[in-house]
Every structure is written in C-alpha cells, then in structure tokens.
Structure 1
Amino acid sequence: MLESPRFPTPPNPVNFDEYCLQKAAPPGSSTYYALRQASTAQQPLLAALFALRRELEETAKETSDPTVGRTKLAWWQKELAALAAGNPAHPVTKAIAQHAPDVEGLYPLLQQLLAGFEMDFEQARYLDLSNLRRYMEGVGGTFATLIAQVGARTEDERAAVAQWASPLGNALMLAQFVPEIGNDARHGRIYIPIDELQRYNVTAADLINRRYSAEFTELMQFQTGRAREAVHAALAAIPAGERRHQRMLRALAALELALLDEVEREQFQVLHQHIALTPIRKLWIAWRAARRA
C-alpha cells in the first residue's frame, strides 16, 4: 500500500513559538539546554530555525516512500518561497517571519538547507569522505551558518560567519553520525563512507543486522577520533571576538563531544540501542561551555 502524502501544517496551532519549542527543543533535549545559553532575544528565532531543520529531517529520514518524501519537500520549497514573499502558512515559517530581521537574507541559506536534505532521497551510501562532505555541507554547514548569523552582531560579522561556522557544522555532523549509526542503518541510510567500511572490513549488512566485532570497534574508534578532532579544530577557529556571542553553538559542540565520550565508554554499543546523556549532565555541560572564554 502506497504511503499517502500528509503535509506538515498542524491543525489550528495556538502559538507558533510554542510549536517550534515543542518540535525542536522539548525539555530534556540537547537543543533545549543549548538554546537556553543564547540571549533571550535570540531564542525565538533560533528555536524556529531548529524546528525547520527538524521538519525537513523528519521528512527526509522518516518517510519510507521516496516519492512521498520528495512531494513533501516540494511543499516545503513552496512554503519557503511563501516565507520570502511575506505570506507563510506553517507555524515554523510564521515564527521565522516574526523574528528574523532579514528574511530575504536568510532565504538562500534556507534553500541550501532543503537541498541538502533532498540528497537523502538521491543516495543512501557515500563512496568516500569527499562525497559525503557534499551532504554534510548542505545540511550541517548551512545550518550552523544560519545559527551563527543570528548570533552575529554586525553586518561584517554576518558576512564572515560561514568561514568558521560551516566547518563547525560539518564537524558536528561527523559527531552526530557516531551515536546514530544503528538508527540510521535501520532507516536504510549509512553515513560512513564505503571506502572506510571496506578499510575496516565492516559491511553495510553488519550495521543493519547489528553485528558487533573487533573490526567494528576499530571503525568506530576511527570515526569517533576524527569527529572529536574536527569539532575541537572548528571550535578553535571561532574568532575570539565572537565566542561570547556564539554560546549556543559552543554549547552544542560541548554536548556532542560529551556524547562521543559516553559512546566510547559504552564500547560503541550503538547498533542496538540509543546512547544519550542525562538531562542534568546536559544542563551542566551546556552551561559550563557557554561561559568559557
């Protein structure tokens, strides 16, 4: 039986800001604690952007029929155009319109973000890291740039944020792939490049069927180490004058690094279970990271 497209406008939302918070940052989530590190004035727009990312991610990764998924993303393409034209219909785009000082300036990045998620319907395997990086830049680098622009104080800073924010977004995606390997495989997508699987003698079937091995452990050690190094390097590249104003991104990075440590302590048992930090740890990690110079 074919899946019928159900478009994402919820019935009679009472408050689009509340909708965005429920969608993107429910209490106890990493986004919830990272969002609280941003200034009060920035939080509504940041929540809306995270909610949009979540809407697109759900469409791309949780829609079993590719035809239906593409139809839903086409709906979002039209909705983003409506946002740019000043007549959004969805609670998320209404929130962006309400809180973004320059919607037209955001529109090209929002289009890039949607195009990145469209890649999930084009391929589910990646030959090598350079091939995977196209996906990472479309989804991770673009989104981090959007978030960094919200924190930037001047036009010059907003124009320059992509230089350091895009590598940070890519690094965060590398980190996010690690604990999600099992879940992604069960949804038919593997974000470890094929040449790296072959190098460590691990197959896609091993991941899908939750087969652990010494080779899998070595593969995961490599993935974790590379992700950790990439996040640290990207954090170090944030200009000193902007670090205080990018507290949310720095909190997110700290949470991803802590989760990598937790996955490592659990001996990379990520194929059959979801490993997560406790809410109290998330609160402490995000708070501490945001206040570091």
Structure 2
Amino acid sequence: MSDVPPPPDLPRPFYDAWRPALRPAARTLWHWHSALVEPAVPTGASVDAFFDEERARAEAGEPLRVIPEDTWSDAYEVCDVHGLNRDWLGAQVEAARLLVGDTRFEEADELDRFIRLWAAPHARLLATLAGLTNSVQRSWVDELARGFFLLVRLAALPADLAKGRLFIPLEELRQYDVSVDQLRTGPATESVQRLLWKHSVRIQDALQRGRSLANDLWFWQRYPLLRYWYGALALLDELDRRDFDLWSKPLALSRFRRFEVYLHVIFGRR
C-alpha cells in the first residue's frame, strides 16, 4: 500500500520514571537528545566542519548553533550539577551529522558505530544520573540502548523512510534481495519477512544481553525498566505474529497484550 502509517507513539524509557529530585535533569537530557533528531546546519556551511566544531564546543561546554540555547545551557548545567560526562553530549552531536540529508548505513558495523555515538551515550548519561557507573553496568546499558533504539526505528520504518532514513544495513537488503522501495511501501513479501526477522533477532539479542541491569536497580528503577523490556519483547512477538507487516497499521500492543506485559513485570515470567 502507498499510504505511510503514522509512526507509533512509543514511550521514551526513563523520561518520567524518576524520583522528583532527578526528573527535571532526566528530561533535560532527553530534550538535548531530541533536539538533535532534526539537526539544523547553517546555509552554506560544510556539514563535516560544522559538526566537528559543534562536537568540540559541546565537550567544552560552549554555546552551540545546532540546537536552541535553552537546550544546551540546561544540559550543561545538569552535567555540572550531577557530575556527568559532557563527552557523551558531544558524541550525540557527532552522530547527528549522519541525520543530515538521507541516512543510510552500508554495513552493520557502520550502524553499530552510529548507535555507539547516538543511543549509547544518551543512555549512559541517564544511567549515571541513576547511579549506575561501573563498567559492567555500562555494558548492559549500551546493549539496552542498542535494542531499544533499533526496535523504535524498526517500528517506525515506513515513517523513517518517508524522511529518507533507514536503520537497516544496505548489505542485508542485498543479501535478501529487498529494495529500499519495498521497505518504503510494503507489502511484507517473503524476502522482506526474512530480512526483518533477522533484524528482529539482532534487537532481541541486544535486549537479552542488557537484561541483567535490572538486577542492579532499586525497585523504583527496576519496575519501569522491566516494563519497557517486556514491552519491547511483546512488540517483537506482535510483529512476528503479523508476519512483519509494518505498512497496514502502526505496530502496537492490544490492551490484553499490555496486561500480559504487566503480569510479566510483576511475576518475572518470560
């Protein structure tokens, strides 16, 4: 079908699920991340030179042009107050250069590098704000960031392609003989299903590798993480049940499936 369904309204992990004292700081970090989704580059500027300079400015805590002043000034203040690493702000600026114009990744390693610069630093800032600072915890955080990011982008595949963005490696499209136009409009042919199944396995593997983080969290942190974690797996199950059809309607869970997620969180079943 030719009509692009609207992107799914998926929740943002750890946007509201904070103690009152930390919630404004977490939202500020989310505002920074969200402001870079549609980066503005001055007319006539070299994209690479512009982002090289902007990353250096972010790491130094200096004024930026790529996002609004209140966004960068608030984020710098949060980093100063809570002892967060501004390099992780700068890494997201570095990644944002790939969101200018069409976004494509030739190989899986290129996509992974983008995620390490885009999703993982954002997740590390939130994790450090929550007191998760050792290297093992950060490895789990990185995996969860990878899984959640890829799931959201998979669910929004038609909408992303309408903006010229694709977060599945092109080498895998060629492997399964799938064109970008097929992913833009559907339907879910057998070759498309095989491609998206492989991508869903990549997502599930990342989520499984990060699952142990929940064991290191206080209840107020553990409950929302598990809700998103079980919800993510339920969305993958739903996508498989729909034969990977992302074009008929947005990917979402029914009330019954959401209740099942709640039971999984409470009783720890999977």
Equivalent of 2:27 in 47, 50, 63: 47
**218-227 or 244-253, which moves further after superposition?**
244-253
String of CA shifts for 1:172-223, please: whole Å, max 9, x gaps. 2222232122112111122111221122221112112434311111222222
Contact kept in structure 1, 2:92 and 2:122, CA below 8 Å: yes
2:174 maps to amino acid? Q
Q: After alignment, is 280-289 or 134-143 more displaced? A: 280-289
Contact 2:78/2:84 (<8 A) preserved: no
**1:59 is aligned to 2:34:** no
The total of aligned residue pairs comes to 256
* Paired residue type of 1:107: R
Partner residue, 1:111: 90
Q: Deviations over 1:39-75 (max 9, x none)?
A: 2222111111112111111337xx9x99698899689
SS at match of 1:57: coil
Are 2:145 and 1:158 equivalent residues in the alignment? no
- Whole-angstrom CA distance in 1 between matches of 2:207 and 2:261: 15
Counterpart of 2:110 in structure 1 is 131
Q: Give the direction of change, closer, same or farther, for the CA distance of 1:162–1:290 in structure 2 (3 Å limit).
A: farther
Quick one: structure 1 residues 80 and 223, their matched pair in 2 at CA, closer, same or farther if it must change by over 3 Å? same
Question: Could you list the runs of 5+ residues in structure 2 that have no partner in the other structure?
Answer: 1-8
> What is the alpha-carbon distance in structure 2 between the residues aligned to residue 128 and residue 70 of structure 1?
21
Q: Specify whether residues 285 and 101 from structure 1 end up closer, same or farther in structure 2 by C-alpha distance, changes over 3 A only.
A: farther
Q: 2:11 aligns with which of 10, 25, 30?
A: 30
1:177 equivalent in structure 2: 153
Query: For 1:190, what is the secondary structure of its paired residue?
Result: coil
Aligned to 1:146: 125
Give the whole-Å Cα distance in 1 for the aligned partners of 2:186 and 2:250.
Answer: 13
2:250 equivalent among 245, 250, 274: 274
1:77 CA displacement: 5.2
TM-score (norm: length of structure 1): 0.69
**Contact 2:147/2:203 (8 A) holds in 1:** yes
Q: Does 1:210 pair with 2:191? A: no
Q: Which amino acid aligns with 2:191?
A: E
Contact 1:59–1:69 (8 Å) recurs in 2: no
Distance (whole Å) between structure 2 residues aligned to residue 182 and residue 66 of structure 1: 30
Q: RMSD value over aligned CA atoms?
A: 4.0
1:148/1:197 Cα in 2 relative to 1: closer, same or farther (>3 Å)?
same
Q: 2:176 aligns with which of 196, 200, 217?
A: 200
After TM superposition, the structure 1 stretch with the greater mean CA deviation from structure 2, 139-148 or 115-124, is 115-124
Separation of aligned partners in 1, 2:44 and 2:62? 29
Residue type of the alignment partner of 2:171: D
**Residues 271, 36 of structure 1: CA spacing in aligned structure 2 closer, same or farther, 3 A cutoff?**
same
Indicate how the Cα distance of structure 1 residues 71 and 29 shifts in structure 2: closer, same or farther if over 3 A, else same. farther
* Distance in 1 (alpha carbons) for counterparts of 2:102 and 2:89: 21
Whole-Å separation in 1 of the counterparts to 2:82 and 2:52: 20
